[in-house]
Structure 1
Amino acid sequence: MSTDVSYTPEEVAKILRISKFTVYELIKRGDLTAYHIGRKVRVEGADIESYKQKSKGINSLASPLDPPALSERLNHCSPSDEGLVICGQDIVLDILTRYLEKQFPQVHFLRRYIGSIDGLMALYRGLANVVTAHLWDSDTNEYNLPYVRRLLPGHPTCIINLVYRMEGFYVAKGNPKNITTWSDITKPDVRFINRERGSGARVLLDEQLRISEISHKDILGYGDEEMTHLAIASKVARGEADVGLGIEKVAMQFINLDFIPLHKERYDLVIRQEDLERPHFQALMSILKSPSFRNEVMGIGGYDISRMGEIIAEV
């Protein structure tokens, strides 16, 4: 790859070995610098190289697409008195961060797009302040509490509901492969696209496979992973997969997708109990209960806010 040449998003996708949709997400987030010539997007070779170097450890947690281990990715992103790290991938967190930034313009709020298990590990290691989780435990039919107890031993935490969401299958319009149950994804003509390990959707899938005594070896595409619900939905919408697992809200953004509801999940915030009295966290709790925030979240659709701001448990 020449650093003196500009590339199209399709060419960047081949260079980085990711989907074209993911390239556009990187550009949208500002992780990959690009410019426009009319309606066409171009990326300089030097900027691709810069992104690759960042992905090796420096600030790479800002994108969920980077390959380094969690401890390496978080190395340069520790919380401080001047900044708060908020981990999670849902758009509701972006709205929440915007409200916090309005109240505390002097504070640097860092958004980190990582999955539930990685987020809890970051909280345990003192590398995050607010994390989200939607981890279903099949033994107790409970969300998040069993995982918080296991992954944050000896660290008192508070679990606060953000929203409820519906998890289900993304399928092509009309559901041509007639996919309605977990066992249907084992059909020999069905191509599945999976979420990354540690995400709540991946945990839900693996738990359901265990209960149903389905081997992942029977699923075509089980090892093919994407890092966001949007990327999963986009791949199904483009016909590169027949089915993927994600939330209903994302399916609503694609006119050529149907959504098969399977499991209502509780999407919670997890913070340290010792932080509850700090001004930033008191403001967070107030925002969750404010009519303006609740109306904005309700207005975008796809979420149940009936328990938003409620303390689910103190662990």
Structure 2
Amino acid sequence: MPAVLMLRALGLGDFLTGVPAYRALRRAYPDAETVLAAPEALRPLAELTGAIDRLLPTGELRPIPWDGPPPAVAVDLHGNGPASHRPIDATGAATRMMYASAAAPDVDGPWWDDDEHEVARWCRLVERWGVPADPGDLLLRAPAAEPPVRRAAVVHPGAAFPARRWPADRFAAVARALAAEGHPVVITGTAAERDLAAAVAEGAGLPATAVPAGTTGLTGLAALVADAAVVVSNDTGVSHLATAYGVPSVTLFGPVSPALWGPPEDGPHVALWHGTGGRPGDAHGGEPDPRLLRITVDEVLAALAGLRQPAG
């Protein structure tokens, strides 16, 4: 059986922004096995896309452990330069879909655009090879697992780097307000963020049982978000899960504009940002981005109230 190999060895949010491209390739090559080279942790969600037959575990910019005849098609859904092109070239695929850039000017592919939304970027790449892609094709199937809390208000104060973390005391104020409205509030996060989540819960006057951070696994987190009443988070993977399940959400942006990573404008989502045009700030910075700090608790509460009001 021929194979289509897709490289997207990044995190949760990156994985979810690639869903329209995965599905476009599945439709274009219905008789091929679709294989995603990505971290093992993403396997539960890969199965929920309906577009991936097999996950091939690998890490960021690591060799792809491809075994067997070369795939018919190999697609670099990772980057735009030699570091991500080399693993694709090493597969020996007859068709290699990759971006050209200043770092790789001789590649036979479309030119990379720094100012393009991440979802649109990968759709444009595959379209260059005649593969129609719909940037709005983002929804996932819900996991079969029961959510640990039904119809929760999910508050997610963590992010990979401090530059994208809104202050914990402000998240606590939002969580306190949601609880006062009668929502079952849960504070989510990774195992490494459990102390942060516990601090937010304590500041909001919530019990320790409101902190499933680090205990749900990715399947449990997806089940929780899929069933949630609302999600409030930083610009991180959980915000993309809210998009994937059409759950009302408020996402707080700082160093990176929502024009590059934000939710679709036609969904029940609000992206708060106090930046202007120009290039992004340092998403890997060690201090909260000034644009993020300009977002107030009152703004977040107003955005939440607006999500509960009918349009017009």
Q: What TM-score, normalized by structure 2, do the two folds share?
A: 0.31
Which has a greater percent of strand? 1
Higher RCO by CA contacts (8 Å cutoff, separation 6 or greater): 1
